[in-house]
Amino acid sequence: MKRRVRRMRRMHSLPAVKGFSPFGSVQNLEDKTVYLLLEEYESIRLCDYDMITHQEASVIMGISRPTFTRIYASARQKVAKAFVEGLKISIEGGKVYFDSDWYHCQSCNCDFSNPDKTTEVKSCPLCGSKSFTHYQDDESKSPEIVEKDLEDCFNSSENRRHGRRKGKNCRENIQGKGRNLV
């Protein structure tokens, strides 16, 4: 049975931090990390921090309530595993989009947004540097995300998904021209 193509999930803003590291008497010799996807972070923020119901949170994220519940359960399980086993938590990846454009400054290492899409961002509002990157562009070029998209690739010539049989044309479209297949 073939999987459905995963829809993008809406996020309000970037997390305040990129992860957490345990400290104390427990020795983590293997230095393992639990990877919390951005949509999993958003589900915890909406339900546990903002105290919103699953139904309301699913509407905010633009997904169904059962899908939201699965994302939320996965997030809680990962956080619990990290707490119990003393593992690091890294918040990254996932299929998300933002209501406004987000940028990352290379000089001062801050994240900032541009809610007014009619004006172009020319410099970092904090330090004035012109060396910044668009956040969504950085995430979309991640090798893990590209590989995941190749699995979910849609063959437009036959108007059907073809699962594991990844052709040359699909690989070129995803990696070279952008994500215009889904």
Distance CA 54, CA 64 (A): 10
84 or 7, higher pLDDT: 84
Contact 34, 93 (CB under 8 A): no
The predicted pLDDT at position 45 comes to 93
Closest by CA to 182, choosing from 134, 137, 150, is 150
118 or 64, higher pLDDT: 64
Model confidence pLDDT, tens digit, residues 15-60: 888 899 888 766 655 678 999 998 999 999 999 999 999 999 999 8
- Give the distance from CA 68 to its chain's centroid: 15
Model confidence pLDDT, tens digit, residues 88-106: 999 988 777 777 777 778 8
pTM of the entire predicted model: 0.60
The predicted pLDDT at position 153 comes to 44
Closest by CA to 54, choosing from 62, 43, 40, 41, is 43
**In the chain, what are the domains?**
9-96 (no CATH), 100-140 (2.20.28), 141-182 (no CATH)
